[in-house]
Amino acid sequence: MMSEKYVVAGVDVGSTAVKVSLYDGDRLQNWLEPTSWNPRQTAADLLVRAASDWGIRIEDIQSVYGTGYGRANMPFLTKAITEITCHAKGASHLYPGVQTVIDIGGQDAKAIRVEKGGRVSDFIMNDKCAAGTGRFLQVMANALGLDVSELALSTSLQNDGCQINSMCAVFAESEVIGLLNQGVSRPAIAAGLYKSIAARIASMAARIQPVMPLLLTGGVARHEPLRLALERELKMQVIVPPEAVFAGSIGAVLYAWDDLQEEDA
Amino acid sequence: MELTRAQAMSHFDMAIPHAGASLKQLKEEGKKVVGFYCMFAPQEVALAAGTTAVALCATKEEPIADGEKTLPRNFCPLIKSSYGFAVTDKCPFFLHSDLIVGETTCDGKKKMFELMAKFKPMHVMNLPQSYQTEADKEYWLASVKELKQVLESTFSTEITDENLRKAIHELNEERLLIQELAQLMKIDPVPISGQDLLKVLWARNFVFDRNEFSMQVRELIGELKQRAQRGEGALPKGAKRIVVTGVPTGLGAEKVLSIIEECGAAVVYIENCAGMKQYVTLVDEKQSPLEAIAEKYLNTHCSCMSPNPKRLDLVSEVCSEYKADGVVDIVWQGCHTYNVESRILRDHLKEKNDLPFLHIETDYSQGDVEQLKTRIQAFLEMLA
């Protein structure tokens, strides 16, 4: 079969990180780099690095499928597909049989119902707003004097988080500062933040009637307190696969591969 | 095959730019003008009074900041835009109107009319909250009769049954013509884009000579039929076919329609007040005129009606007739009635047509265009 020597790429240009996946029908490998002020360059550089790690030149890559916010702006792309379609496909690769995907990225959140083969049957996305996204966590971590990577570790796991009422990142920041001034502990505030995001995401997801198995993907999925809070809100098991952050680029690379097989056939 | 546009569209490209001057000319000739905002305004009564009925501006983002000086910011953009246009005299049609006719439709509009009445002659028609019972029908008929009296005394004229019948016939003919135009969207490839169809329907409100407008539409229909015979389309053959429904999306507020067609799908039916809503039913010419007019207008399937089964049935029917692949329901932020009804419509279509459904909540700004593109593209990928 001709396609044995093919390598295809998936590039997910998100607001916070660029992800690249390469695939040859057997081996699948992923790379990640924080998005710079020039996402196009970050993506191009990461693709070059991935090819070199793989042991090929960039010209040897048969096709490059792009997804994520930056997908429209990438000259080297063979095709662009939305992150909703790609996340569903990627998630069903990471966890075959998955029926619902909740993806929380840097600046949006979405809930997707997935059919067999990773096809989307329904989805919902949050509004043009940072509420319930990675950006929200970043702003709140700053207000608590933490880096966003430290936020999960500084969270009370006792489900005794305080109540945070504002979902607007700007108002919630004032609320957090108010709570700090009242002497509420940082772990309780952090737990409250995760709880409020989880409540917001759960009510959004309710519109597509989530069913298990349910996967949490995207950069925010690595915040364990959020996963736990979501389980409490949804009353469902929430699975975070190890490559959760790569669901989009994996979906893109798999679509690139499928299309190539179809052309060959 | 190359994608092309009908030449007769040039009439409609120029309709709005010319409208201000032609209305001014009518005024100079001594014609009286009645301005309206909504599909519930019975235009036949205004025509029978010898006045020109004009639609008022409500679809641009620019005057919203002026609207927000008085109205709450979380109001729907259509109401804020209407008020901003009116209060700053930036809408020439409002400026030239001798009387504004409003209706007690949604909460936002009826309260806005109270503010508007402070600086403009205004008549607000009382609308019942449902179209189903005899009491609703009597209530609305009384409002239509009152409108007749108000127009007669404002313009010192008599509205005769003969003039009402003439106006009814004229607008019925126009409705039938528009229905014929819309039917052409059943063809694949569509001979005209959804955005252009919207432009024609919208232009209807800005060409004041009804005869002139009819001639322009006839010319367009003739050309589109020829295009269809040659297989010429405004969008590729096999393009996904989308029925758009929900809030009015007049020119200036058509961004969702543009995005759908930019993404390669065809908007085959526009089920809203900027689109087909006013054209789908006729006034019964056999009945006594005021009663017949009242009946037609009360049947407007707006979400301010509770419940609103006519909209559910109509969308369902249109989806099968036009072979829709999916439905996009557009809602303005702050439009509670359409926003809630979206869930009812989704469930109805799921059951009756088993069609994919996309709910979009947005406003007049361009700030969310990229997010909307992602959603609409994902929706179309889902249909593929």
Q: How confident is the model at residue A127 (pLDDT cuts 50, 70, 90)?
A: low
Return the residue in B263, B369, B375 with the most chain A beta carbons within 10 A, the one to mutate for interface testing. Answer: B375
Taking the C-alpha atoms of residue B17 and residue A256, their distance in angstroms, rounded to an integer, is: 48
Q: Do B374 and A84 touch (CB under 8 A)?
A: yes
Query: In B, which residues are within 8 Å of A72 by CB distance?
Result: 373
Nearest to A82 among B356, B367, B381 (CB): B381
Residues of A with CB under 8 A from a CB of B: 69, 72, 81-85, 108, 119-123, 125, 127-128
Tell me if residue B335 falls in helix, strand or coil: coil
The model's pTM is: 0.91
Q: Show the DSSP H helices in B155-189 as ranges.
A: 161-183
DSSP state of B51: P
Q: Distance from A144 to chain B by nearest Cα, in Å?
A: 30
Q: A122 and A113 in contact (C-beta within 8 Å)?
A: yes
Residue with tokens 């620019």: B62
CB-based contacts of B161, cutoff 8 Å, min separation 6: B288, B289
* DSSP 8-class letter at B186: G
How does pLDDT run across A167-193, given as a tens digit for each residue?
777 888 888 888 888 888 888 888 888
Of A108, A120, A128, Cβ closest to residue B382: A120
Give the DSSP H or E segment for B125: strand B122-125
Assign A163 a pLDDT band (cuts: 50, 70, 90).
Answer: confident
pLDDT single digits (tens) A204-214:
999 999 999 99
Pair B104, B125: CB distance under 8 Å: yes
**In chain A, which residues have their Cβ closer than 8 Å to the Cβ of B345?**
none
Angle between helices B289-298 and B134-154 (to 10 degrees): 120
Contact between chains at B368 and A108 (C-beta distance less than 8 A) = no
Closest CA to B167 of B284, B286, B47: B47
CA R_g for chain B: 20
Chain A positions in Cβ-Cβ contact with residue B361 (cut-off 8 Å) = 127
**Cβ proximity of B334 and B76 under 8 Å:** yes
Kindly identify which residue of chain B lies nearest to residue A121, measuring between CA atoms: B382
Helices A169-181 and A134-143, axial angle in degrees (round to 10): 30
CB-based contact A69 B375, cutoff 8 Å: no
Enumerate the residues of chain B whose CB falls inside 8 A of the CB of residue A119.
Answer: 382
**Over B10-48, what HEC string results?**
HHHHHHHHHHHHHHHHHHHCCCCEEEECCCCCCHHHHHH
For residue A123, list chain B residues with Cβ-Cβ distance below 8 A.
378, 382
Q: Pick from A72, A120, A127: which is nearest to B378 by CB?
A: A120
CB contact under 8 A, A85 and B374: no
Number of Cβ pairs closer than 8 Å across A and B?
36
Residue of B nearest to A108 (CA): B371
- E runs forming strands in chain A: 7-13, 17-23, 28-34, 61-67, 79-80, 100-104, 109-114, 120-125, 214-217, 238-239
Tell me which DSSP letter residue A237 carries. Answer: -
- Chain A contact for B344 (CB, 8 A cutoff): no
Token pair, residue A232, equals 């409490």
Best mutation target, B262, B363, B382, B383, to test chain A (most A CBs within 10 A): B382
Looking at beta carbons, which residues of chain A come within 8 Å of B374? 69, 82-84, 125
* Residue corresponding to tokens 């006839």: B218
Give CA–CA dist A66/A253, Å, rounded: 8
Q: Touching check for B367 and chain A: CB below 8 Å?
A: yes
CA distances from B225 to B173, B181, B202 (A): 20, 10, 21
Q: What are phi and psi of B268, to 5 degrees?
A: -95, -15
**Cross-chain Cβ contact B381/A81 below 8 Å:** yes
Orientation angle between helical segments B369-383 and B255-262, nearest 10 degrees: 50
Query: Can you tell me the distance from the alpha carbon of B76 to that of B330, in angstroms, rounded to the nearest whole number?
Result: 13
Contacts of B38 (CB under 8 A, 6+ apart): B102, B103, B105, B109, B273
The reply to whether residue B378 touches residue A121, judged by beta carbons under 8 angstroms, is no
Q: What is the pLDDT of residues B230-281, one digit of tens each?
A: 999 999 999 999 999 999 999 889 999 999 999 999 999 999 999 999 999 9
Each of the 384 residues of chain B gets a pLDDT tens digit; together they read 567 899 999 999 999 889 989 999 999 999 999 999 999 999 999 999 999 999 999 999 999 999 999 999 999 999 999 999 999 999 999 999 999 999 999 999 999 999 999 999 999 999 999 999 999 999 999 999 999 999 999 999 999 999 999 999 999 999 999 999 999 999 999 999 999 999 999 999 999 999 999 999 999 999 999 999 999 999 999 999 999 999 999 988 999 999 999 999 999 999 999 999 999 999 999 999 999 999 999 999 999 999 999 999 999 999 999 999 999 999 999 999 999 999 999 999 999 999 999 999 999 999 889 889 999 999 999 998
Which chain A residues are closer than 8 Å to B367 by Cβ?
Answer: 128
For residue B381, the chain A residues in CB contact (below 8 A) are 81-82, 84-85, 120
Q: HSE-up of B255 (CA within 13 Å, CB side)?
A: 20
**ipTM, 2 dp:** 0.86
Tokens of B371: 């997010």
Min Cα separation A85/chain B (Å): 6
Residue B360: strand, helix, or coil: strand
Quick count: other Cβ atoms within 10 Å of Cβ A223? 25
> How far is the C-alpha of A130 from the C-alpha of A115, rounded, in Å?
29
What is residue B49's three-state secondary structure? coil
- Cα–Cα distance between B178 and B176 in angstroms, integer? 5
Whether B328 contacts B245, CB under 8 Å:
yes
Query: Which two tokens mark A75?
Result: 């000259």
* A128–B377 CB contact, under 8 Å: no
CA A192 to chain CA mean position, Å:
22
